A and B are shown apart, each in its own frame.
Chain A
């Protein structure tokens, strides 16, 4: 049956906390596309036409969805400075010709690359990025290679996605991505060392996090501009990631995490972007603090994408302020059945969809080894249970 709105219109209404024709559905399909589309990681990273072909094939198999993830990680990995080292630290170059990856994607190494916060604030990240502690493989890349992927390749990549969006009328999930400094620090310091820092010298953690805001926000907005912000639907969205550290107490959340997060959200929105807060872990204890997320900002600029947080409580506390996005568990997608996914989605829609402002999606991202019929069941459930107007 033909639908009365296109995906962008539907998502726009959700951002603005209004009901569309039905609940938008947008599983965060990233690495599952190349997997189902039959390309390896090298092709995914270096040949956008192949990635887009794989995306088209995989979307047919998975039942579509109201947006598409252009995998901005690709640009971050290949660029001269990476994403402040995170990608260089976590991407294992050996996996390029493999799919499925042999356990290294996207995983967390407990490394300690930053040993002196003051030195980083004084000299920047370059000395760290070009350290053999980060990646021996990094030194196999020539300066020409870095320059090409920093300045030329992003334009080619953006043009390929622009063509896709125009042809298929599916907006992008994001145009740029940024990480919360604490998320970055867990990679640079290791979670154990970061924990020690948080308890022993919280002021220093706050100081470097403050220093990081402009660096991280500027890179994200630059990528979004290259991807066509203001012109290509969805590329005006900054995907603002917080993957950790896990298990912050309210005291730590309120003192260290939240003020930095709020400043970054404000920077993005005040400079004309929308923010998709992709925040992992169970943040239920922090919902009262997070209810100030949109304070001082115009409506319709924030989407809150939650992993393990109680969605019903999130809707109750924040549903009249920001849009909510999530959170079918990864384990059900991999080990469950379409029927189990269907039931889970039905409950999410009942809890979160009334009044609008909700997008049905996965927790974190769809695992590449999810059963395709389970991912398709998410899209089916939005159409089955999520109709606002009949």
Chain B
């Protein structure tokens, strides 16, 4: 895969940052450096889905990717200006729930993968989602819920989207520890998962299909 991707895949932060610095010093195109690091990150994601890496390792991977981006980001701006995002995704934890972790992992991994992600935070009211969708126009809305009591808020949000005429303009995915046993159709969402990487794959597929 290359030294950067290998270091990323091995979750070796020191080696990753050393390799990134070395490549920057020899004036390698920073977009190439990012792509190689992303390949390593994708490898971590695929190993996570196979059960070979675990959630803490996935979180660590997104953290060291961010560390690497702190070195690479300024170089990209210098050489290419602002690069275009692969797609737009809006996220938030539904009203009545303040759990942040799962959503933040997915947000960081999506950002690392090159998507523009707006995270509305936790305990987000349906009307706040509607308002932001109108201005941000995401292709995907990601709803997070960990409390059983909050899961039903997803359907309230979806109903509000319908009333605002926005439901057909985007896909809706729900994630969280308790959504694994729910029936997707009952909550009006397009997909539900407890697995961060599976959710990311589904969102990437949706956005790729929308682009044709």
Contact = CB atoms under 8 A, between A and B. Distances in A.
B151 interface: yes
A199 B149 contact: no
Nearest to A104: B98
Given A103-B147, A107-B98, A107-B99, A195 B59 contact: yes
Interface in A326-364: 329-336
A367 B95 CA distance: 17
B104 A192 contact: yes
Interface in B87-123: 95-101, 104, 123
Interface string B146-189: 01111110000000000000000000000001111110001000
B181 A331 contact: yes
B11 A331 contact: no
Nearest to A246: B55
Given A102-B96, A196-B60, A369 B101 contact: no
B17 to A, nearest CB: 12
B63 interface: yes
Interface in A171-218: 191-192, 195-196, 198-200
Contacts of A331: 148, 151, 178-182
B56 A367 contact: no
Contacts of B99: 107-108
Contacts of B63: 192, 195-196
Nearest to B14: A200
Contacts, number: 95
B15 interface: no
B60 A247 contact: no
B182 to A, nearest CB: 6
B181 A329 contact: yes
Contacts of A110: 100-101, 104
A246 B100 CA distance: 13
Given A103-B98, A103-B123, A334-B149, A199 B55 contact: no
A56 interface: no
A109 B101 CA distance: 9
Interface string A91-135: 000000000101110011110000000000000000000000000
B181 A192 contact: no
A243 to B, nearest CB: 11
B58 interface: yes
Contact of B95 (A103, A247, A330, A368): A103
B149 A369 contact: yes
A370 B59 CA distance: 32
Most buried by B among A103, A110, A198, A335: A103
B167 to A, nearest CB: 22
Contacts of B151: 331, 334-335
A248 B148 CA distance: 24
Given A331-B179, A334-B148, A103 B60 contact: no
Contacts of B147: 103, 107, 367
Given A247-B58, A330-B178, A107 B97 contact: yes
A390 B58 CA distance: 51
A245 interface: yes
A5 interface: no
Contact of B53 (A195, A249, A335): A249
Contacts of A367: 147-149
Contacts of B177: 308
Contacts of A249: 53-54, 56-57
A32 B66 CA distance: 42
B98 A109 contact: yes
B181 A199 contact: no
Contact of B56 (A107, A195, A329, A335): A195
A102 to B, nearest CB: 7
A245 B96 contact: no
Nearest to A284: B51
Given A245-B56, A331-B182, A199 B13 contact: yes
A107 B102 CA distance: 13
A343 B67 CA distance: 48
Nearest to A332: B181
A125 to B, nearest CB: 24
A285 to B, nearest CB: 8
Contacts of A248: 54-56
Nearest to A334: B148
A252 interface: yes
A109 B146 CA distance: 13
Interface string B43-87: 000000001011111111001000000000000000000000000
Nearest to A195: B59
Nearest to A106: B147
Contacts of B11: 199
B101 A103 contact: no
5 contacts: A107-B97, A192-B63, A247-B57, A330-B178, A332-B181
Given A108-B99, A249-B54, 8 more contacts: A195-B59, A199-B60, A200-B13, A247-B59, A248-B56, A252-B54, A331-B180, A369-B149
